[in-house]
Structure 1
Amino acid sequence: MRFAMASSINIKNGLLTTKNSLHIKIPYPTFKQRPTEIKCSRALTTGQHNEQYCIDVVRKRDYEGFLCSLLFPEAVRRSALALTAFNVELAQIKDSVSQKTIGLMRMQFWKSAVEDIYRDDHPAQPVSAELWRAVRKHTLTRRWMLRIISEREKDLEDKAYRNLQELEDYGENTQSSLLYLLLETLGVKNVHADHAASHIGKAQGILTCLRATPYNSSRRKVYLPMDICMLHGASQEDFIRGSRDQNVRDVIYDIASQAHVHLQHARSFSENVPQAAMPAFLQTVSNFISFSSSPLPTPH
């Protein structure tokens, strides 16, 4: 319809009126966002927050693990960070609680979280949410996660290891279990890689205990294997007062030597370990370099 004069047109209350009293309804435009679009945008925002939370936790609490995670293939990097953040969260419980009961409650929270993840019940906690995503993407084994939690729970007893075997078991159940999960994110299913991961985890567990000895001693706590200490006549008080006597050096040397034995065993599988598995073992390099940068005690 054409109108001869613009002055003959009037718009009022959403109606276009001409001088001939012709009324044409002009609807006001409205814009609606579909519920699915709203849900997707929120999920994206939440997912980004959860990912950043894991990055921050790992960067702050396990900087070596953070640097190594950056070298993972992009397709699995987010999952690797989630697993490392999970391990960090568990590891810091012991030092962050004043009572064992509180620590046990936190461990129970993580046990329940893992069970919820495998029931496909999307958790709200950021690390748990990222684990849920990693499990769905890579079909990760629940047993390894629960084994890490159980071993960390036993560690709340706050006692020295009775012997070197107990310390090796600790490394196997924590560090090796984490490596098995990282191998799964990389899609590696290889018996030689698993054997290497077992020995590397034990070596890392031993080194972690050694590297933490000065800090623990400053808090009047010594966790070094008692059988090795007794063998060389070194008491816990020797470590607490920072003794550098030969018997203390012998204890450190014997324990470090066992870590080196496990490292050598791991290296013996190198020719049969798929190249795709290598990112999972990168932190071994940084751990051993950091430890070897300080002078190793010599035996008698």
Structure 2
Amino acid sequence: MPEGAVVHRGTVEDAAQVLRGRTVTALTGAGVSTDSGIPDYRSPDSPPRNPMTYQQFVGDEAFRRHYWARNHVGWQHVDRTQPNAGHRALATLEERGVLRGLITQNVDLLHEDAGSRRVIDLHGRYDRVICLQCGRVISRAHLAQRLDELNPHFLEEVLSGGLTVADIEVAPDADAVIEQTSHFNPAPCEFCGGVLKPEIVYFGESVPRERVERAYAMVDDAGALLVAGTSLTVMSGLRFVRHAAKTGKPIVIVNRGETRGDPLATVKVEAGVTETLTALVDLLTR
């Protein structure tokens, strides 16, 4: 944040006053899903993380083996999570005609599970896998069956000693924190033998242009932007806040901790995401 930048801090009532009478587009990040049991990357209480980059994944077989071993554990945790009250609040705002659409940086699909219909999964989705050679897309559940066949005792070894998947630290991209992965056998594409990659935008990888254009259009389609649960550290989300500010739209940011968009906010609510979104439903749909 630039030195001396003005942050217009306020309450949920202040946020409602800004949004009331306007249609809204929402931009969400990992902080929306923490109350569902999926940790974020950058909140004050988050452990330090070094997510794998796209260049590491495509350029090094050892990195790919390490990733798929961890993902084989972590995706199950994400697959079992349920939407929380914050997800449901956004779905309700859409149902009531307040929310025009939702752009999420999350890959967990919890917005869709909560009932949101107009969702742009900016960074992809955890439940699909793409071949980098032939472009075929398969479900992550189908790949799990193949990985179980190639690594019949892997999960038993990881979960020995009474551990469950829920006991293992999992990142927002379904990457589980486990160390012994050198013996894991990744699966090649069953159609062409190519390299499989989760249909997720990695650090260092560009969001598909068509997806970005749809997100810009969704921001343009509304009268205000509501940002929830993201520090806006990466440009993939921050650009939509800058775009909204450039076009004169009011911006409400809800996040515990500083964000790169704070100087552009009409109101910044420094509070928990779930309780704030739930309160906004009551205030905006009376």
- Give me the TM-score of the superposition, normalised by structure 1: 0.25
- Give me the TM-score of the superposition, normalised by structure 2: 0.25
Higher helix share: 1
Larger Rg over CA atoms: 1
Higher strand share: 2
Task: Identify which of structures 1 and 2 has the higher relative contact order when contacts are C-alpha pairs closer than 8 Å and 6+ apart.
Answer: 2
